[in-house]
Structure 1
Amino acid sequence: MHVLGWRRTELITRDHEPLAEAAVARFEALSARRLAGEPIAQLTGKREFFGLEFDVTSDVLIPRPETELLVELALKAIADAPGARVLDLGTGTGAIAISIAHTRPDARVWAVDRSPAALDVARRNASALLGPQRAGGPLAFIESDWTANIDPSLLFEAIVSNPPYIASDDPHLEQGDLRFEPRGALTDDADGLSAIRAIIETAPFLLANSGALWLEHGYDQAESVRALLQARGFTDVRSMCDLAGIERCSGGRFTA
């Protein structure tokens, strides 16, 4: 479908047509790269997330289905807040921020990343999926190491993040798709919790009263993340499971 530019139905209805040699060569070249382990999302440059199709490059983490839970939790947190402000830390492709903005056109969303290359990808996705006018308005992009460059006068009804949470010694970093994704988006080069600690420590300064913080984390980190949230003074702390039944996101609310 990608090589030919065909829809899925055309693979059936046009199966009698001979293929151009250039198309065959391109297909075989992409197949060889896939056999070497390169992710399909990077081969096609696309990945579907929350019903939207995002551009993907080697500069960003590939959006994954389990992260859709984070979007759902953010939308639930701002369900009763017209014009809510939402902060997405470590936006990458912009998948989380754009999905929230697409679903809640009244919300104002800030997307943060320390990587200029990642922000370029996110801006392109925002322009394609939300339109140029919206990409320059209620959806704003900030280059920042987590909350360092965020205007302290901004207060958010919800803060969400899918930070690097894989421990530096995790063997999965050298396996499968992860080998081709930016290491800084996968691991903190420590115990997998340093970015989460930093976000939990500073988030209360940027949350509106009773604002919510939700974090994606590893399959075995829920208990540790809940403990960090509770120690920082968050209430209603809990973890939510993804479709595989794994505690994938933890969060709570902060009341000054």
Structure 2
Amino acid sequence: YGVMGSFGCRFYNPNLPTAITGTGHRLLLGSKEYLSEKGYDVIYGDTDSLFIKLKEGEGENAAENANKIALDLNNYWAEKIQSEYGLKSYLEIEFEKYYEKFILTPARGSEAGAKKRYAGVLIDKGKKKLEFVGMEFVRSDWTRLAKEFQVELYNKVFNSEDIYEWLRDFVKRVKEGNYNDKLVYRKRLRKDVDEYTKNVPQHVKAARLLPKAGGTVYYVITKRGPIPVELKHTDIDYQHYIEKQLKPVADSVLVLLNESFDSIVQSDQLSFF
């Protein structure tokens, strides 16, 4: 697929990668239609996978039931490909994993689900594990504060625990400096700091304050702006972390509960008046 779609390849043919993606798209849509006719709710699909909601009672033997669904799909496509094209099907649709609980977070600024951005309680060999895909927890450009906040928040949501008082208390503890060791950003310099001229990124601004900067820059946001951890940074801008690290993480799931980070946190502030 890759070389056939590359101009540098002597066998370059744009029709091949187009045909591959088109076929994959058709297979997903066809599988979705088949499953819907069987009474299954297909909640998400991406590239080469479908996420379906099992029927009532099927979760007790999830792996067994999911493998049966995969087998039914393989048989369906084998018959269809044979009848329509007279060819043998070499498709291998497999059951990959089972989430006991699942959240597909919306794209920011939209109510629609974002691609490759979800969290779920994964059941693996009888054990439960919280898994994140495409979210802040797995990204290197977010602080430990945001990642640990996200894990705790989603655990509470999945376990139907009260999050309102916990959210307000978490913000309070951030402002009190209880998480100062988790506020560090890290980002790698892609070129010399002097080569950045327009729209200078935060990590470059921090790096320029050091006598010699290179590799990965570790910095915090203060009321003076980004400061490398090697320099004094007691004037931390806590509001920055609340707005840029906590709020986006919280709102991605709170919107599904018809709530917002601001409404919950500000209600605590208003209670003092």
TM-score by length of 1: 0.29
For CA contacts below 8 A with separation 6 or more, give which structure has more relative contact order: 1
Larger helix fraction of residues: 2
TM-score by length of 2: 0.28
